[in-house]
Amino acid sequence: MMRDVFIIGVGMTKFGKFMETGMKQLAAEAVSGAFEDSGLGPNDVQFAAVGNSGWGNYSGQTCIRGQVVLRPLGMGGFPVINVENACACASTALHSAWLYVSSGQCDVALALGMEKLYHEQKELVMQSFIGGTDIEESMKLIAEAMESGQNPHTIFMDIYASEAHKHMDKYGTSQRQLAVISAKNHHHSTMNPRAQYQKDFTVEEVLADKPVTFPLTRAMCSPIGDGAAAAVICSGDYLKTLNGAKPVKIAASVLGAGADRGPGDTHICRRLSAKAYEISGLGPEDIDIAEVHDATSYAELAATENLGFCAPGEGGPFAESGATALGGKIPVNTSGGLECKGHPVGATGLAQIAEVVWQLRGEAGARQVQAAKIGLTQNGGGAIGNEEAAMGIHILTI
């Protein structure tokens, strides 16, 4: 029933700390990049889905964020859906745009994700993070933490760390294995000129970095950041009218939200990737490269298991074997991942897409994976019950 949909252009800003650059400028750079890459322009777009998480907190710009950033680029008059889904905003935007094209509502659509997190008022960053949870519940947790003299800023990292602890207890996963993942991503980032950090870390340096909450050190956690990323997509019929296009097919676009998961129930990442594999007719053994949501290096370890790249409990040894490094069986986060490329929340899912598109087209420069034909992105966001509040998984093929 659904039509084939192709990504014909991607663009992204460098990720980093850009205090003097406004959201409109970031969006313009990403969108212009995607246009240049696709050979299309503002007048060709028939629908846009725009994801952002924190602009409202920082400036009061809520409601019509997409229309506001697209208008200075000469774009308007077509439907715009502004979407939110915490750190999974951008994959939600791509999913919405994919649905518009695949269902035949339009032939050409734009997906855009954008974020500015650096701000002089640092408490706004905290507020943006809490917005990805049930704020009533989180405010209670924070109040309790402060009463007991705890630093409220570590609460969320504590929650992430406690998942890592469980894995360590159950499977013997070591802190060193987490550091291997982080060091691998730091090394990848040295080959990505758009990465926020491009600095090599040895495993020892990762372990010796500032402790956040055991087993996590600073080098194992994603920084905050500013940036934007965009994709221009089109239908198969429209593609036939283009000369010199470099299409990458969206073989599966799957969105889901988390739930209260009982013991033995399948994690959202496993449920959604199973669906993506079914839709695409592919399996984890077919995936050549993946960009996964390594908000912490433990999250990457869990993703490699839940996506079926290795068996449950084997994520640590799998990383240690070099399987997920450049040159390994299935390179993961060649971009440097959220840990090093950076994590401007609303932009992340489309930055993952851009990396996979460049890899599949053989345009990834020093970090190119040879003969990569099939790639996967996994983008999670927020927390609800005991799962991510939202997750988008895409499988791309060339």
Q: Supply the residues annotated as catalytic.
A: 87, 343
- Which residue's structure tokens are 């710009």? 61
61 binding its own copies? (CB under 8 A): yes
Q: Is residue 43 involved in binding its own copies (CB under 8 A)?
A: no
The type of residue at 113 is G
CB-based contacts of 113, cutoff 8 Å, min separation 6: 50, 51, 52, 89, 90, 93, 228, 229, 230, 346, 347, 348, 349, 350, 351
Q: What is the DSSP string of 85-131?
A: -GGGHHHHHHHHHHHHHHTTS-SEEEEEEEEE---SSTHHHHHHHHT
Residue 125 touching its own copies (CB under 8 A): no
Could you say whether residue 130 binds its own copies (CB under 8 A)?
Answer: yes
Q: For its own copies, which is the closer residue by CB, 58 or 309? A: 58
Q: What is the DSSP letter of 224?
A: P
Strand order in the sheet with 289-291: 47-51, 108-116, 226-235, 5-12, 248-256, 390-397, 374-381, 289-291
**Cα gap 288→302, rounded to integer Å:** 18
Q: Which of 42, 105, 96 is nearest to 250 (CA)?
A: 96
Q: Is 152 in the site for its own copies (CB under 8 A)?
A: no
One of 16, 41, 56, 152 touching its own copies (CB under 8 A)? 56
CA distance 138 to 382: 12
349 binding its own copies? (CB under 8 A): no
Q: Does 350 bind its own copies (CB under 8 A)?
A: no
Enter the tokens of residue 317: 């040894």
Q: Is 2 an interacting residue with respect to its own copies (CB under 8 A)?
A: yes
- Contact between 99 and its own copies by CB under 8 A: the answer reads yes
Name which position in 5, 27, 83, 228 contacts its own copies (CB under 8 A). 83
Least distance to its own copies from the beta carbon of 8, Å?
Answer: 21
Q: Check: CB of residue 51 under 8 Å from CB of residue 112.
A: yes
Does 257 contact its own copies by CB under 8 A? yes
- 225 lies in the site for its own copies, by CB under 8 A: no
CA distance 131 to 138: 9
Is residue 127 within the footprint of its own copies (CB under 8 A)?
yes
Phi/psi zone of residue 134: left (φ > 0), alpha (ψ -120 to 50 degrees), beta?
A: beta
Contact window for its own copies (CB under 8 A) among 48-56, 106-114, 333-341, 363-371:
48-56
Nearer to its own copies, 26 or 195 (CB): 26
User: Tokens standing for 373?
Assistant: 């034909």
Of the candidate spans 103-111, 210-218, 292-300, 331-339, the one that interacts with its own copies by CB under 8 A turns out to be 103-111
Q: Which of 268, 303, 323, 364 binds its own copies (CB under 8 A)?
A: 268
How many angstroms separate the CA atoms of 393 and 109, rounded?
Answer: 19
Looking up tokens 């040159």 gives 327
Exactly one of 39, 41, 42, 131 binds its own copies (CB under 8 A); that residue is 131
> Contact with its own copies (CB under 8 A): which of 36, 43, 62, 366?
62
Residue from 81, 125, 157, 159 binding its own copies (CB under 8 A): 81
Among 128, 175, 182, 217, binds its own copies (CB under 8 A): 128
Among 38, 92, 192, 304, binds its own copies (CB under 8 A): 92
Residue in 269, 234, 231, 228 with CA at minimum distance from that of residue 116: 228
Minimum Å gap between C-beta 244 and its own copies is 29
347 binds its own copies (CB under 8 A): no
Q: Near its own copies by CB under 8 A, which window of 33-41, 122-130, 232-240, 328-336?
A: 122-130
Question: Which position among 11, 33, 132, 315 is part of the footprint of its own copies (CB under 8 A)?
Answer: 132
Task: Calculate helix-pair angle for 135-147, 155-171, nearest 10 degrees.
Answer: 90
